[in-house]
Structure 1
């Protein structure tokens, strides 16, 4: 999710060296293959006051490819917003695939629900309106070894990323993956703090730096930090 403390003139999340190159990728390989309901949801979401919180289409395309390469059938999503990444996941999963989607605000999910319904994938989604930690704790108590999840996508409050990580490692199978969004935080993680930035942006940047350091040292996972959109870290559980 994009922080509300970012520069209000920014209209996209893109860390590439040029907007021209970004547009080339979108027009050549992303937009031509974007499902019509994803396109409709993306265009509507960008009219939302917090539209930049949505996963951009090139990142959605990567997530879709990853899910298909893994043959994922059962996933968790923490942080749904209007549901672009959720619809992407639902379209990528097989007919019997299932997603547990958790968000504290159902009203945003309801913006995307008509697109999900028209795409014919609503039956794959179990949406839970709640803070994520209590739901994850309950799932840990109930889940059986043979019923662990294949994949999780996290795009929620950065202050709880470490807490989500510890719980998700108990819910994702060995060999499964967890993807964390916004792990480059507009590129600010690689440079000293700029005091001219909004306080919320700086807080998010500092939390992200701390989380990145934590993941880099975690022996339970393999990681790949991808420079796409606002940064995406893919973690494969190995223990």
Structure 2
């Protein structure tokens, strides 16, 4: 039996992580506070600071220039992704609720990344299907409507260049993915998890970070693949 180590998520450990991992972020902290004021019932959807720092790191690490986000909410993840882009990089972010975009836009300006972000309002699947079908994306981040997770994956994987990265948020969905009878959201996440683990087009790892995070790297198509 393989042993494992876990560290309890206490306020002290979280503070240590944010400080030593350079994840503390006054602007995103302020945006989370504004989100709690404007949409308190949805404030739990704001991206954790340590995950925001990881997204910026992954964009820089992969050298991504063309990024797509599914599910912007009030903009924390979009800011994190755009911060990692070079000046000529571009993030297309999909959001169905115009009001969330209005909350986000002033923070895009203050973060200095507004010129790298294009917000497309409407159903994310519609936006994805209107994009070029061939591999042209360097990185994609899925954090949209959970019952549609597998549909997003289906649209995005063929559009990722070989070596491109697909990041999926909420992979554990508060632990509900292991429930015998999960709700529709957890069931949607679980359906993607089951599909992704045997998808031959990617190699992946699932991490117990925040609410669970899957990192999937697009592999090159085998010779002769149509």
TM-score category (smaller protein): 0.7 to 0.9
- C-alpha displacement of 1:41: 1.5
Kindly report the root-mean-square deviation, in angstroms, between the aligned alpha carbons of the 2 structures. 1.9
Is 1:26 matched up with 2:18?
A: yes
Q: Is 2:140 aligned against 1:152?
A: yes
1:72 matched residue in structure 2: 64
Which residue number corresponds to residue 229 of structure 1? 210
**Higher mean C-alpha deviation, range 184-193 or range 116-125:** 184-193
SS in structure 2 opposite 1:235?
strand
Contact kept, 8 Å, 1:224 with 1:234, in 2: the verdict is yes
5+ residue gaps in structure 1? 1-14, 194-200
CA contact (8 A) 2:82 2:117 kept: yes
Within a 5 Å distance, the mapping from 1:134-173 to structure 2 comes to 134-141=126-133, 148-173=136-161
Task: Determine which structure has greater relative contact order: mean sequence separation of CA pairs < 8 Å that are 6+ residues apart, divided by chain length.
Answer: 1
Q: Is the 8 A contact 1:16 1:22 kept in 2?
A: no
1:128: which partner in 2?
120
* Residues 1:16 and 1:60: Cα distance change in structure 2 (over 3 Å): farther
The one-character-per-residue Cα deviations of 1:60-112 (angstroms, maximum 9, x if unpaired) are: 11111111110111100110000000011111111111011111112112112
Aligned to 1:46: 36
CA contact (8 A) 1:178 1:236 kept: yes
Equivalent in 54, 57, 63 of residue 49 of structure 2 = 57
In structure 1, the residue matched to 2:27 is 37
Where 1:166 maps in the other structure, the secondary structure is helix
Structure 2 runs not aligned, ≥5 long: 1-5, 222-226
Q: Which moved more, 1:72-81 or 1:201-210?
A: 201-210
Count, aligned residues: 212
The answer to whether the 8 A contact 1:30-1:57 is kept is: no
Separation of aligned partners in 2, 1:150 and 1:109:
24
1:178 and 1:56 map into 2 onto residues whose CA distance is: 19
The equivalent residue for 1:5 is: none
| Preserved contact between residue 150 and residue 191 of structure 2 (Cα < 8 Å) | no
TM-score (norm 2): 0.86
Partner of 1:17: 8
Query: Residues of 1 paired with 2:27 and 2:15: CA distance?
Result: 21
Structure-to-structure mapping, 1:113-124, within 5 angstroms? 113-124=105-116
Q: 1:114 to 1:154 in 2, by over 3 A?
A: same
Q: Measure the CA separation in 2 of the matches of 1:166 and 1:58.
A: 28
CA distance in 1 between counterparts of 2:74 and 2:22 reads 20
Looking at structure 2, the residues matched to 129 and 31 of structure 1 have their Cα atoms a distance apart, in angstroms, of 29
Shift of 1:22: 2.8
Deviates more, 1:100-109 or 1:37-46: 37-46
Instruction: Normalising by structure 1, report the TM-score.
Output: 0.82
